Amino acid sequence: MTEESTTTRTRSGALLRYVLAATLARTADGGAVVAIVLLVTTSGDPGWLAGALGACITAPHLLGPFVARSLDTARDGRRVIALASVVHGATLAAAVLLYPVAHALVPAVLLIASGLLGPLLTGGISSRLPAIAGPSRTSQRRAQGWDVATYGIGGTVGPSVVAAVSAWASPLTAALVLAAGTCLAAAFVMLLPPSPPAADARDVPRPARTLAVMLSTGPLRRTLYLTMIVAFSVAALPITAVASTGLLGTDAAAAGMLTAAYGLGNLAGSIGVMARPLEGNADRLMTRLAAVVAVTLVAVVLAPSFSLATAAYATAGIANGYFFASTLAARNEYAPPEMRGQVFVWTGALKITAGSAGTALAGTIIGPAVHLPLALAIALTTAAALASTTERRRARSIR
């Protein structure tokens, strides 16, 4: 066996372990809020409490960058992510076990601790991928397709696992299954190949300084605002799916098929990136793919029938899968080595925040006109793509 084939097999094995770790961690992260809400509502407690405790595990994602510096300063970043996975699972398990017997503030505090570590299970794990995928841009971008798939699987399988286990046993059992999954993810993380720190700990900037560097560096700035605006925009799709079924001549239950089509499209996009990795400059790719996402949202608005709407939702999912892969490429290729982990977590945390804001706004303004949220999303995404193009051309002319 040649040295090259041995290296390829080693990298393939490491990538498989990465996919398993990332899928388990992101399944837990995606399903936890559903488990919490089901636990509270099936206990007969008020809906506002379910929403408040659900927010306790989602809102702290925004603070994730303030614990992410350890990824760039640690001698072994695997240990940081593995510890975060175990603590995330332990605090989630403690919260649901104590909920029936303790004051609501106790599980709330535990859920906040769990949510604070969530970004290390999402963007934090992604920061380990460049060291696994190999040196070539093609291998890096093919691996990013796998990473997109783990996000899609986690976001889909997590709530599905919670629903299935809750129906079979109870929401408490479902939450404990998710907690066990994060502990298993920690084991797979520790089986990944170690990578030395990219810089001396003294050279790693603080979180606020990292954000300042991202905002002042053209490609990273464009990565940040394009990621946030596209996340804000596509977050309107589930709300629109529910509200538009009457216009499409179907009942409200059919909205599930539309959102499922979007999810499957997202997974198909990640498979497309694996089969044929993205080529070209990541900065330009993000801009073009953001514009493609805007076009697919136009197709959703204009779809005259349920079957065409389903196809439009699937196409939007495919476009977003490709766009997400381009943002992962940009984070990897433009982030300074001494702050790569923080760049991944900052972008992921702000993406989640933007998505939550998009869902909330869509639910608020959808009353007067079913397609108003998507019209706003199309305008914002198009404007962001144009701003990105203008920025890049201006920078090129100055040079």
Chain segment 104-141, per-residue pLDDT in tens: 899 999 999 998 888 888 888 888 888 787 778 888 88
Distance CA 18, CA 15 (A): 5
Q: Is the pLDDT of residue 340 over 80?
A: yes
Q: For tokens 């639910």, name the residue.
A: 363
Q: Give the separation between CA 352 and CA 122, rounded to whole angstroms.
A: 10
Rounded to whole angstroms, how far apart are CA atoms 303 and 113? 43
What's the one-letter identity of residue 252? A
Cβ atoms of residues 313 and 261 within 8 Å: yes
pTM of whole model > 0.85?
A: yes
The C-alpha angle with vertex 120 and arms to 106 and 359, in degrees rounded to 5, equals 75
* C-alpha distances in Å from residue 252, one per residue of 159, 318, 382: 20, 24, 30
Contact between residue 175 and residue 39 where contact means Cβ atoms under 8 Å apart: yes
* pLDDT tens sequence across 267-277: 899 889 888 88
pLDDT of residue 147: 87
| Top mean-pLDDT range of 6-10, 201-205, 338-342 | 338-342
User: How confident is the model over 44-94, as pLDDT tens digits?
Assistant: 888 788 888 888 888 888 888 888 888 888 888 889 899 999 999 999 999
